[in-house]
Amino acid sequence: MSKLKITHLKQEDLDILEAMIIEFAKYENMLNDLKCTKEKLQQILNNEHICAFLLKEDEKTIGYMIYFYTFSSFLGSRGIYLEDIYIRENFRKKGYGRQVFKFLGELCKKEKLARLDWVCLNENILGINFYESLKAEHLKQWRNYRLSGKNLAKLCDLC
């Protein structure tokens, strides 16, 4: 297994991150939903609550991950929400996903974080099988909800 290098996102990395987010949106058949731009990504660099990393094999960028910190009132503890983990198709099944989760597990241990959360599309069978191999729990009792766009803008009028 090759060693994965995980590096903090820098200003000069924004173009490659934008390209990979587009690849990820295509992979998930969600390109029409993509609104992220390089200008919006610039905000990541200036936000201490959002952490973005590039994943590299021999200095070649092969993926990325973005996470942010959360808080659980039930646990009384912070955690991490993994917004994205993306590894380019030619580099999957090489153990890199496990290395990313090991990195996140070590971070959780070091910072005394209680949990690591993420979502996965129902049709992403490769991802589901991988996450279950890590002993991740499928939270069947929860539903994900979202307000965005016009519905989010109308929220103040509803309440």
The string of pLDDT tens digits covering residues 55-75 is 999 989 999 999 999 999 999
Per-residue pLDDT, averaged over 38-61, amounts to: 91
SS3 content of the chain, % helix, strand, coil (to 5): 40, 25, 35
Which domains are assigned to the chain? 5-158 (3.40.630.30)
**pLDDT surpassing 70 at residue 133:** yes
The predicted pLDDT at position 147 comes to 87
Write down the pLDDT at residue 159: 64
pLDDT score of 1 = 59
15 contacts 61 by C-beta, under 8 angstroms: no
pLDDT tens digits for range 80-127: 999 999 999 999 999 999 999 999 999 999 999 999 999 999 999 999
Closest C-alpha among 101, 70, 71 to residue 85: 101
One-letter identity of residue 132: E
pLDDT at 24: 95
Does the reported pTM lie above 0.75?
yes
Question: Is 96 considered catalytic here?
Answer: no
Mean pLDDT for the chain overall: 93
